[in-house]
Structure 1
């Protein structure tokens, strides 16, 4: 049975202190792993680098994510990234998940601020909340901590959107092996 789920992790411009005047946090990388819940495996890993339009990549951001200003300058515009999600990854019809609600809220904020159509029509799952439920703990662990608890090695670089989406995909499979997978956030209109 084919039960595809998009697992999404974004990286955004960030600073070690206050946000510089006139700048806003913008998505600079969208990591996406397609998980087949029916056969219980991660089937593909993708990366979309996005060019910020109202901020720049700080030294802190480069240290955290590995992304440089030059790399994101070569990326696609946010509107194009959203079209890629819709066309290539069926984000308008396929359910999706992220670790917590940050990624969903960042897309909502950035789409509202830029007038770009929100690329997701499907229902969202907060995998962090389901992990806590599946493990019977009230604590919500970060992705790296959850991997340790699950006994799953972290693959790649933490705070790389593509690598984090791949690792979250492994956690999704762990969760789905313990409790029924379900939507936690209703669709955005």
Structure 2
């Protein structure tokens, strides 16, 4: 099957047409595999988490960070996605006021688009994480509904959240103990070159 034919079929099925020919063929093959397994009652949605909470923290930074630089979370955004409905259900977004690096560097402001006023008028991280946990509770995530946190690479949880909890004197939150690195999952699934994890 030519790339043009694969792209045409993916468009017809309303699937993404992004990627090289091998990725597109795998996407189409996966679609038909799932369809066959579903028709034979061998595939169930229970293999997927019913909800994904996608997070992408922004943190304080310098153009060149010294090895022991302590990043502080300055934005805590999240998107709640239903796997059953395949759509976004809700958003959470809050800025955080840093305490160690209270003045944002010019590089940080340019990189993130976050202004000094955004963080100066924000709550500190302990309050923001409470608000986020209240948002999870509002959606009955972790009680009535199972969910999985998703990040783009290991930095959000492994460095930013972990480091911020240490700075704030908070225990590492239960919601963050298991998470999916979507960058790694994508590259493993499509057998493509993985971007640098620290990028």
TM-score (norm 1): 0.66
> C-alpha distance in 1, partners of 2:106/2:123?
21
Shift of the 92–57 alpha-carbon distance from structure 1 to 2, 3 Å rule, reads farther
Would you say 1:113 and 2:183 are equivalent positions?
A: no
Would you say 1:43 and 2:89 are equivalent positions?
A: yes
Shift of the 49–81 alpha-carbon distance from structure 1 to 2, 3 Å rule, reads same
Would you say 1:101 and 2:154 are equivalent positions?
A: yes
The structure in which a higher percent of residues are helix is 2
Please report the RMSD computed on the Cα atoms of aligned residues, expressed in angstroms: 2.5
Alpha-carbon deviation of 1:79? Answer: 0.3
Would you say 1:132 and 2:187 are equivalent positions?
A: yes
Aligned to 2:64: 17
Residues 128 and 141 of structure 1 are in contact (CA less than 8 Å); yes or no, is this contact kept in structure 2?
Answer: no
Shift of the 25–92 alpha-carbon distance from structure 1 to 2, 3 Å rule, reads farther
Shift of the 37–113 alpha-carbon distance from structure 1 to 2, 3 Å rule, reads same
Q: What is the count of residue pairs matched by the alignment?
A: 140
SS at 2:109's partner residue?
helix
Residues 74 and 98 of structure 2 are in contact (CA less than 8 Å); yes or no, is this contact kept in structure 1?
Answer: yes
Residues 10 and 31 of structure 1 are in contact (CA less than 8 Å); yes or no, is this contact kept in structure 2?
Answer: yes
Superposed CA deviations along residues 92-135 of structure 1, whole A, max 9, x for unmatched, are 82321100110001111211232123234352111111111222
> C-alpha distance in 2, partners of 1:29/1:89?
17
Answer 1 or 2: higher relative contact order, Cα 8 Å, separation at least 6. Answer: 1
Residues 6 and 96 of structure 1 are in contact (CA less than 8 Å); yes or no, is this contact kept in structure 2?
Answer: yes
Within the candidate set 93, 99, 124, 1:77 is matched to 124
SS at 2:162's partner residue?
helix
